[in-house]
Amino acid sequence: MNTSDQATIFSSKEYLNKFLEIRRMTEEICEPLQPEDFVVQPVVDVSPPKWHLAHTTWFFETFILKDHMPGYKLFDDDYPFLFNSYYENEGERWVRADRGVLTRPWVKEIMQYRAYVNEHMEQFLNTNGLPEELRLAFEIGLNHEQQHQELMVYDIKHILGINPLAPVYRNFKGEVSEPNLEENYLAIPEGIYEVGYEGDEFHFDNEEGKHRVFLESYKVLDRLVTAGEYIEFIESGGYQDFSHWLMEGFEWVKKEGIKAPFYWYKKHGEWMYFTMSGLEKVNRNQPLTHINFYEADAFSKWKGKRLPTEFEWEVACKLHQPNIPQSANFLDKRNYRTMPRVGDDYQFYGDAWEWTNSAYLPYPGYTIADGALGEYNGKFMVNQMVLRGGSFATMRNHIRPTYRNFFHPHLRWHFTGLRLAETT
């Protein structure tokens, strides 16, 4: 997570506006909720929304205000213990798996905490500007909060989705365009390619280290796999035939009795799924979502294909769709659903995070920075798979060809999809 030396220096005013805009967005996501919805943790991977509200605030309090604003007084001495996530450098913390048992502080107290930190940040930026040595922490703080915005959407959907009342988050009306669902492939010739981030904008340390890779020639599908294609897999017995599956994947299928993507149910012979607008019929033309790595991998094998590696994905994206098309779903952040592919959009950006067949590992020359911010990415580099591209819930400045997202292969409550590939 670095900013290059040449990065544009914004004015204090600009920094402040960016800060306040992002802070406000976090709260906007929570608008449809009542206090009860902010508290629970149905599975360990889901955090209570009020925890996200507080944790993102703790980040600015801890890495900016606490040590750098003269006379700053912690809002509450117990909050660092409650709202540190995993930063060992920042001391003891409440156990992650027990986030869902804390009813206090109440939501309104956490909103007061947010206001308090916002006010102090405003005062700090107005007084000091943003000192050079805090710029990195500040920018990470903004990006960190945006990552949590996306996680909050996942978590809110999970909290609502497991409730038998199938509550509606917001009623979205999707424009249905004429979809373009042919099965075409983008071909990339063998050669040395450069991958990794290079430039002046904010980016994370895990994507830094531009370097060369040699790729044998390959091709990738020019769109995401659709729900309809996956229904064929299901209905041909895909979940019952071990030969498509990694062994750990098939064990997961059998142990959990899996028969469909997360949030999918068969009701009166019809595939239904839980959306942010409540229970709906599955739209076969939409990109498939809510599958884990095992399912993505099994589907690709059933099709006689495979998943691309993260570098195959990045190179194809840079070569064939270097710029974000205007139609990309994430541009309207309020429409919380994937949309069918229309026209020539290759769906590299902001539709669904795409599972790759790359494990999450460091780039050559990667080193972990000292101090708490060094704990941001590097310590997770084992047993996780890389996802690329972004989902409709991803903030726009988190969409870029080099961005590396990562999750354990069994998880599927986030907005995940896949694209097929083949060595040629």
Site for a second copy in 229-248 (CB under 8 A): 242-243, 245-248
Q: Is the dihedral of CA 373, 378, 384, 390 positive or negative?
A: positive
Site string for a second copy, 349-388 (x = CB under 8 A): --------xxx-xx-xx--x-----x----xxxxx-x---
Closest approach, Cβ 307 to a second copy, in A, equals 10
Q: Is 409 one of the binding residues for a second copy (CB under 8 A)?
A: yes
> Under the criterion CB under 8 A, does residue 278 sit at the interface with a second copy?
no
Contact between 86 and a second copy (CB under 8 A)?
yes
Q: Residue 103 Cβ, how far from a second copy at the closest point, in Å?
A: 4
Shortest distance in whole angstroms from residue 10 CB to a second copy:
32
Whole-number Å distance between alpha carbons of 339 and 347: 10
Closest CB to a second copy among residues 104, 173: 104
b vs e for 46-66, b when ≥16 Cβ sit within 10 Å of the residue's Cβ? bbbbbbbbbbbbbbbbbbbbe
Q: What is the DSSP string of 116-143?
A: HHHHHHHHHHHHH---HHHHHHHHHHHH
Task: Provide the pairing of β-strand 385-388 with 405-407.
Answer: antiparallel
Residues 49-68 that bind a second copy (CB under 8 A): 50
Residue with tokens 């117990």: 78
Contact segment (CB under 8 A) with a second copy among 57-65, 96-104, 117-125, 134-142 equals 96-104
**What is the contact mask toward a second copy in residues 145 to 184, using x (rule: CB under 8 A)?**
--------------xx-xxxx-x-----------------
In the complex, the smallest distance separating the C-beta of residue 133 from a second copy, rounded to whole angstroms, is 21
Residues with Cβ within 8 Å of residue 160, at least 6 apart in sequence: 37, 166, 167, 168, 169, 274, 276
Kindly tell me which of 109 and 122 has the beta carbon lying closer to a second copy.
109
| DSSP code for 249 | H
Does residue 263 interact with a second copy by CB under 8 A? Answer: no
Q: Are 207 and 398 in contact (CB under 8 A)?
A: no
64 Cβ contact partners less than 8 Å away, ≥ 6 residues apart:
121, 124, 134, 137, 138, 141
Q: With CB under 8 A as the contact rule, which of the stretches 28-36, 127-135, 259-267, 412-420 interacts with a second copy? A: 28-36
